[in-house]
Amino acid sequence: MIIRYLDRSALDPVRWDDCVAVSPQRVIYAFSWYLDALTTGPRSPYWGGIVAEEQGRYVAVMPVVYRKKYGIRYAYQPDYCQQLGVFSREAVELKAVFPAFLAQLTRFFNWVVSYRFNEKNEEELLFPDGFSVVKRINHVLPLQQPYGRLSQQYATDRKTNLNRARNTGWRIEESPDIRGLIDLHRTYNEAKAVGGMALDLTIYDRFANAVDQLHQRGLARIWLARKPGYDTPEAGALFVLDRNRIIYLFNGASETGRKQQARLWMINRLIEEFSEKPVELDFESPAIGAESVTAYYQSFGAENRPYTEISYNHLPRWITYVRTGLRKLQAVAGRLR
């Protein structure tokens, strides 16, 4: 078995996607076409991957998204890509190969701002000194039970608000294009979501292209909620359907949509549709902060699913000094303009 790091131009996307598709860890974010969409366009990041190859097949892969700054490559976790990590064929013993994967990561990336392993990697992870390791929690609702039993698990507030939504009479329509929902989110929800932080707006174009790829493969369900007699949508949601997992990946709502529980109405409708099926609803809970959002997802009776986020800075000390000096110079230049 050969284990090595390959930039995107050097890896074979067919063999890569075949490995991800059959892996027990399968998640949509790891497919080459999804990563390609998220890393194509102005000011876009790059991606590559660590590959274990045996007899001409990729038997385990680990995607890495990165940027370049001051000539330094640093890995980070991009938006709309909650978990990555190692994806392997059934016969591969991850505990045996993980140290080699980690060695390749540290060899090619001296600086990892953030990297999140998927929940199926939890038993194989072991990190040496020099790594910051944090446990994150996602929320997932198994839908195998009858709808009546699933809805009984809702918190009291959720049941009350669902009755209010029923009285509103929301009409849900499916759209082939995510861009209208992005506009809705940007108008009403973006400021709160980013919490005053600077946002690279080019991410929306890349995300829209990624959703186009999902839609072409029949994996995206884009719902818009309207009130009876009105043409303007008041809320919307993107659900990604991939085999046994449904990801609640994106949403937006106006003040009316929020107060009259349009998003709750859509989530409940999806739960009712897929109840008694061997699938799970992944709420894709925020990794940091947003306690109210996390509590909201828990109120549906969702399970806690831990996953691991790492970071490290193994850059030589002199580079750290140079970076600090450049930041100070940039600050001074900004004040002189």
Q: What is the pLDDT of residues 184-232, one digit of tens each?
A: 999 998 877 766 666 788 999 999 999 999 999 999 999 999 998 788 9
- Claim to verify: residue 213 and residue 114 sit in the same structural domain: no
3-state secondary structure of 273: helix
- Claim to verify: residue 168 and residue 121 sit in the same structural domain: no
The conformation of residue 9, written as its DSSP 8-state character, comes to G
- Claim to verify: residue 98 and residue 145 sit in the same structural domain: no
H helix and E strand count, the chain: 12, 13
Which parts of 147-234 are beta strand (E)? 171-175, 220-226
Q: Are 81 and 65 in contact (CB under 8 A)?
A: yes
In a 10 Å sphere around its CB, with 0-12 CB exposed, 13-18 middle and 19+ buried, how is residue 156 labelled?
exposed
- Claim to verify: residue 162 and residue 267 sit in the same structural domain: yes
CA 212 to chain centre: 16
- Claim to verify: residue 156 and residue 294 sit in the same structural domain: yes
Q: Which residue has the tokens 């900004």?
A: 334
Number of domains in the chain: 2
Q: pLDDT, tens digit, for every residue of 290-304?
A: 788 889 999 999 999
173/98 Cα distance (integer angstroms) = 45
Q: Which among 58, 38, 40 is positioned nearest to 49, based on CA atoms?
A: 58
- Claim to verify: residue 186 and residue 296 sit in the same structural domain: yes
Residue 332 pLDDT:
42
- Claim to verify: residue 126 and residue 168 sit in the same structural domain: no
- As a dihedral over the C-alpha atoms of residue 14, residue 17, residue 18, residue 22, rounded to 10 degrees, the angle is 180
> Domain of 109?
2-130+314-336
227's tokens: 């009130």
- Claim to verify: residue 84 and residue 200 sit in the same structural domain: no
In a 10 Å sphere around its CB, with 0-12 CB exposed, 13-18 middle and 19+ buried, how is residue 179 labelled?
middle
Residue 327 pLDDT:
57
Q: Say which CATH number the domain at 222 has.
A: 3.40.630.30
The conformation of residue 137, written as its DSSP 8-state character, comes to E
The DSSP annotation for 39-59 comes to T-STT--EEEEEEEEETTEEE
Q: Say which CATH number the domain at 72 has.
A: 3.40.630
Strands 245-253 and 280-282: parallel
3-state secondary structure of 309: strand
Angle in degrees, 0-180, between the axes of helices 262-274 and 156-168, rounded to the nearest 10: 100
* Regions in the chain scoring below 50 on pLDDT: 326, 329-330, 332-337
- Claim to verify: residue 288 and residue 327 sit in the same structural domain: no
Residue 326 pLDDT:
46
- Claim to verify: residue 248 and residue 320 sit in the same structural domain: no
- Claim to verify: residue 275 and residue 328 sit in the same structural domain: no
- Claim to verify: residue 84 and residue 185 sit in the same structural domain: no
